[in-house]
Amino acid sequence: ERAKEFWTTRVGFDVVQALGPRAPEGAAIGTADRIIDPGGDLNEHFADADAVISTAGYNSILELAITTTPALLMAIARSYDDQAERAVTWGPLLGLTYRDDERPAAAAWLVRMLEHRLRRPAIDIGPSGAALAARKILELRR
């Protein structure tokens, strides 16, 4: 009930949906205030957000981990991916794992994050492998 009140009476936040070029036709949600194509800057949008609702894709998880932004993880069921396992593993670290049978609890959690602008500690996922990968690629040219 508290979540319903929050969504219908509170102002001061925007719902921004990030859709990349591979998003399927009709993926836009009608209640979003804005739809953006974040390109390669999704991590910056994650860091600037008060809260994020995200799928549990590998890249999204890692980009969320290095921010302090609380995240509600919603796994997409696919036969070729392990999003459900990833959401369960990372949900407690990044915020919460969404479960259909716990929808009121997820809504209440999201309201608490937005009302109080709560943050969480960033997670050290180790050094970037970008420089090493670039060196290895350049070595292939020789």
Identify the residue with better confidence: 56 or 130: 56
- Over 70: is that where the pLDDT of 11 sits? no
When pLDDT is cut at 50, 70 and 90, the band that residue 130 belongs to is confident
What pTM, to 2 d.p., does this model score?
0.81
* Residue 56 backbone dihedrals phi, psi, to 5 degrees: -105, 40
Residue 14 is encoded by which pair of tokens? 């925007």
Go through 66-93 and write b for each residue having 16 or more CB atoms within 10 A of its CB, e for each that does not.
ebebbbbbbbeeeeeeebeebbeebbee
pLDDT band at residue 5 using 50, 70 and 90 as cut-offs: low
Rounded to a whole number of angstroms, the CA Rg of the chain reads 17
pLDDT tens per residue, range 70-124: 999 999 887 677 999 999 999 999 999 999 999 999 999 999 999 889 999 999 9
Q: Is the pLDDT of residue 136 over 60?
A: yes
Determine the pLDDT at residue 8. Answer: 61
Q: Which residues contact 3 (CB under 8 A, 6 or more apart)?
A: 104, 107, 108, 110, 111
Confidence (pLDDT) at 70: 97
What lies within 8 Å, CB to CB, of 14 at 6+ separation is 33, 34
